[in-house]
Amino acid sequence: MTVPTCLTVTRPAAPLSGTVVVPGDKSISHRALMFAGLAIGETRIDGLLVGEDVLRTAAAMRALGAEIRRDGATWYVVGRGIGGLTEPEDVLDMGNSGTAARLLCGILATHPLTATLTGDASLRRRPMARVTDPLVRFGARFMTRAGQRMPLTVRGADVPIPINYVLPVASAQVKSAILLAGLNARGDTQVTELSPTRDHTENMLRHFGAKLGVTTGAEGTQITLAGQPELRAAPITVPGDPSSAAFAIVAALLVPGSAIRIDGVGINTLRTGLFTTLAEMGADIAFTGHRLAGGEPVADITVRQTALRAVDVPAARAPSMIDEYPILAAAAAIAAGTTRLRGLQELRVKESDRLTATAALLAANGVAVAVEGDDLLITGQAGPLPGGGSVATHMDHRLAMTGCVLGLGARDPVTIDDMRFVDTSFPGFIPLMNRLGAGLATPCA
């Protein structure tokens, strides 16, 4: 279906119910295409997220010389090998995807070629220094706009130098960019992270045959990568994205009497902070059918509507749920008591300033909310929230979907100003929610 620009969401007349499968994990989909493009041989990928962000990654890897074709739901990638990418003939447009742009900078930093990356208006506002600063140490050169923003041009190092780098902030994107750069640098590249972040890159490095060592001690976790391995093609099945499943899960918690199941969701422990937090809030969530897919743990998730209570979420949990804070805020809005979400500074450099925008989203719909430094305080309604307001999405797909879920649990209709960016991460969001009974079909008057 065509995604409406503006949408009005009302509370459904009946509980949400049914079983669905959410699209493939976006983080893993990006990496699958990139690693397959760097491997020798043909990699088969099943379950790839066919969203705008991932399609931009596929286009970029094609422009760099990888052969990529699609046969129904299955993708095939013939890689160029480490160091074998070719200079693109045109600018690489990464659309709205900060993950694709930052990880690709890592790959390009140690290939002796010149490439220019750009993106949409939202991505061009996002800072790139946290990635470009360490990549310069490999010998790469970057030319950017003021504030080290895109568009940017990278000239990869002719003779890359491996580096040791301590992450100043918990960021899987920065860690991954450095490891991707280290693939084409002779010798060992080492990254130290003080707080754990999602480890999809490490899992995929092992899956394709790279030599990787991980040690954890008092000074954090050290990841050591042996440079210039010969990556070999290996089949990948992408699990369902837990960040996408989050919207259906919270919707079921907001709509009285709801009971739904979501099959085949990735439950990597470095991505399940939201599930842990919702369980602490009293949510009825069960995990069954545990299995592995492409080296990642997967399960089926059943959730039933339950009354929620406020919690104090520690900052240390942020890396495991950084994309889920807006939808968690919607759950906190109906809980009993005041929820404090701590240490959300990373939200300020997402597709939008998500911290400020999430607070505004709640306030516009009758929820008492405050931002104290990098913390978000939400006074829950202990039941349905008032609603009746408008959600300004700021070209941010997660704010748009959070607004929809908020509307399902509100007494009065909620208007979302722009739904066009939802397909960047969750193609088919509206039809999937409607299969559960959400009734998302009313364009703004």
Q: How confident is the model at residue 5 (pLDDT cuts 50, 70, 90)?
A: confident
For residue 372, is pLDDT > 70? Answer: yes
271, 380: one domain: yes
CATH number at residue 55: 3.65.10.10
Q: Give the C-alpha separation, 404 to 369, whole Å.
A: 19
Counted domains in the chain:
2
Average pLDDT score over residue span 329-357: 89
pLDDT higher than threshold 70 for residue 199: yes
Tell me the C-alpha distance between 385 and 395, whole Å: 24
Of residues 2 and 208, more confidently modeled: 208
Are both 16 and 135 inside the same structural domain? no
Say if CB 266 and CB 298 are below 8 A apart.
yes
Instruction: Write the DSSP string, 268-333.
Output: -TTS-HHHHHHHHTT-EEEEEEEEEETTEEEEEEEEE----B--EE-GGGGGGTGGGHHHHHHHHH
Residue 277 and residue 146 share a domain:
no
Same domain, 152 and 253: no
Same domain as 319, residue 280:
yes
pLDDT grade, residue 395 (50/70/90)? confident
Report how far residue 213's alpha carbon sits from residue 221's, in angstroms, rounded to the nearest whole number.
10
Would 58 be classed as within a structural domain? yes
- Higher pLDDT: 397 or 110? It is 110
pLDDT-based confidence at residue 2 (cuts at 50, 70, 90): low
Predicted local distance difference test score (pLDDT) of residue 424: 78
Mean pLDDT of 39-68: 96
Whether 42 and 17 share a structural domain: no
Nearest to 414 by CA among 422, 403, 430, 399: 403
338 and 391 part of one domain = yes
Q: Does 247 lie in the same domain as 107?
A: no
Q: Are residues 11 and 57 in the same domain?
A: no
Q: With b meaning 16 or more CB within 10 Å and e meaning fewer, what string describes 195-225? A: bbbbbbbbbbbebbebebeeeeeeeebbbbb
- pTM, full prediction: 0.86
- Assess if residue 209 is contained within a domain: no
Domain boundary among 183, 198, 221: 183
**Are 414 and 288 in a shared domain?**
yes
**pLDDT tens by residue, 239-272:** 999 999 999 999 999 999 999 999 999 999 989 9
User: How far, in Å, are 31, 56, 87, 272, 335 from residue 61 at the CA level?
Assistant: 11, 9, 11, 30, 45
Whether residue 366 contacts residue 386, with contact meaning beta carbons closer than 8 Å, is answered with: yes
pLDDT (tens digit, 9 = 90+) per residue, 67-124? 999 999 999 999 999 999 999 999 999 998 999 999 999 999 999 999 999 999 989 9
Contact 252, 305 (CB under 8 A): yes
The 10s digit of each residue's pLDDT in 146-163 is 889 999 999 999 999 999
Q: How many residues does the chain have?
A: 445
Residues 6+ apart with CB under 8 A from 286: 301, 302, 303
Q: Supply the range of the domain harboring residue 80.
A: 26-160+176-183
Instruction: Give the pLDDT confidence score for residue 345 in this predicted structure.
Output: 86
212 found inside a domain: no
Tell me the per-residue pLDDT of 225-244, one tens digit each, with 9 for 90 and over: 999 999 999 999 999 999 99
- Cα–Cα distance measured from residue 380 to residue 329, given in angstroms and rounded to the nearest whole number: 9
* Domain-located, residue 234: no
Whether 162 contacts 185, CB under 8 Å: yes
Does 341 map to a domain? yes
Catalytic residue positions, numbered:
323
- Based on the domain organization, do 273 and 397 belong to the same domain? yes
Residue 164 clears pLDDT 70, i.e. is over it: yes
Instruction: Report if residue 332 sits inside a domain.
Output: yes
Please provide the average confidence, as pLDDT, over all residues in the chain. Answer: 94
Instruction: Identify whether 98 is part of a domain.
Output: yes
Tell whether the model's pLDDT for residue 3 goes beyond 70.
Answer: no
